[in-house]
Chains A and B, each alone.
Chain A
């Protein structure tokens, strides 16, 4: 813990945030309430406005509309240096002419903390990120992971109540990344700080965050805890963006869906995340929820096998439904020994595994 103090995180409220660059709305009417001490991930494809939201929070971008409240105080017009927010950037931003400990002490110097006190607190922050004894080195004498940890120490040394991170791990290789993910999680629970974390890596978002906000073209698609996001995505974009999803075009009559091949499936009420009008719809099922069943089973759908891809513990089975729609199933390899491409078998969807969305496929 830094200085034996717990900086409890600030609550953040984005209200109708909009940022236009010319005619392009990089952020379009985004409203999010972030709780004190929450770890929120912003997830979305490239250009979806994640960085713009973060930069607006940090004060580097001025939103064209909307408000940013931190602990109820309107911060929208405040310049970055008045926001008291810690920030870690995507690439290395340590000051090359300062030693590691001087880098970490920099925010304290800006806050006019006495020199001996700042060195003491900087050393303590370095200890928090497990870089004790590295203080006298120059930044370029550190590895990439170590540099980002120093940047992290610099961002938390003054006990800010909010920590912003814009893809801080994207420059690191996989092992280092996983190690740093745990490191950041540990810091978050130790410090109780509110964290907003931008990433385009869904695995990273799901493992680290309390809630994940999904963005597409500047608009908020869904904001939910990881499990809900994965198991009950709010729309087809969120469904297909996170993990794999089978999408089967169907006709919906208000209770039963009819597949292209003519089979009908009765849907349980919980398959509808949001109300779906009768008509064209898409039935979504995660591949790992698809089951191989007997031809005699009530919900059996005939599938012609195209590919059987063995991958150790699990096997990916790819086939076509009667109307040609591709369908994928992930099954334990123990059950897949006698599957052959070109043969026909039967698949079924457990009631709790089906989700229905209105409109065409994404």
Chain B
């Protein structure tokens, strides 16, 4: 092993440690048999998970977040796939402009976006509503969906749709019966990303929360401010598990898509 790859390895492990250490610290605390956060944890209990699932306010926030996340996933996959189609198959200049617009939400800090949306929502009465959340979350999740779908769409031969149209399909039917099935794994994987981005999104939730309906991350903020109990690490454990599930699911889906769109044998 030469010195360069040694350095690279060291770097990779440092990054991994940096990412993993907080998780490793927080996870055991979820099982601590104390009423306050402590490290190292003392005793072992599943009490805090029971607390979370047994508390109607937490459950309400969970349902609220899940509803918003599901709608965000739906909106971003439908709009994102259409946008992507225009981007990949459409005219060059408009496509480039569009791509620029899409990268916007990635480079603009979420806090800036949140403030802007806050002012906008104040005027339009969208603050604290499901529609408001879905709109805001769709803005930040859209690029991830578009780029995931674009990866699949560029590998699908446009001539396939021509062939379908010569068989009597309209352009839309050609898309629905030929292109969509081929990119579906990536569309679903984009939707999963959008779901998880919305589900544990803290910044916008902080600005846009209404009095009654709060998302799960927003509820966690409130709880941290008032009485910091190990229910917070317990929720963190649950959210981490969900994220891992989603990532694995997305990876499996994209594997499936590589199989269906791989070039045919040429012999």
Contact = CB atoms under 8 A, between A and B. Distances in A.
Given A89-B162, A97-B182, A97-B260, A143 B168 contact: no
Given A87-B163, A89-B163, A94 B168 contact: no
Contact of B159 (A84, A89, A144): A89
- Please indicate which of the listed interface residues B167, B173, B178 has the most CB atoms of chain A within 10 Å of its own CB: B167
B264 A86 contact: no
B264 A93 contact: no
B126 to A, nearest CB: 40
A139 interface: yes
Contacts of A84: 168
A97 B181 contact: yes
Contacts of B265: 140-143
Contacts of A94: 264
For chain B, the bracket of interface size reads: 20 to 34
Contacts, number: 77
B170 A96 contact: no
Interface string A140-175: 111110010001001100100000100000010000
A288 to B, nearest CB: 37
Contacts of A93: 157, 159-160, 162-163
For chain A, the bracket of interface size reads: 20 to 34
Contacts of A81: 165-170, 173
Given A81-B169, A111-B168, A140-B265, A60 B160 contact: no
A107 B167 contact: yes
A111 B167 CA distance: 9
- Please indicate which of the listed interface residues B162, B163, B261 has the most CB atoms of chain A within 10 Å of its own CB: B163
Contact of A91 (B159, B168, B169, B260): B159
Contacts of B177: 106
Given A93-B157, A95-B160, A110-B173, A85 B166 contact: yes
Contacts of A89: 159, 162-163
B167 A143 contact: no
B225 interface: no
Nearest to B166: A87
B163 A96 contact: no
A154 B167 contact: yes
Contacts of B170: 79, 81
A106 B164 contact: yes
Contacts of A141: 265
A80 B264 contact: no
A80 B181 contact: no
Contacts of A58: 166
Given A58-B166, A97-B182, A140-B262, 7 more contacts: A81-B167, A85-B166, A89-B159, A95-B160, A106-B177, A140-B265, A155-B166
Q: Which 3 A-B pairs have the closest CB atoms?
A: A110-B168, A93-B163, A87-B166
Interface of A: 58, 60, 79-81, 84-87, 89, 91-97, 106-107, 110-111, 139-144, 147, 151, 154-155, 158, 164, 171
10 contacts: A80-B166, A81-B168, A81-B169, A81-B170, A89-B163, A97-B178, A97-B181, A110-B169, A143-B267, A147-B264
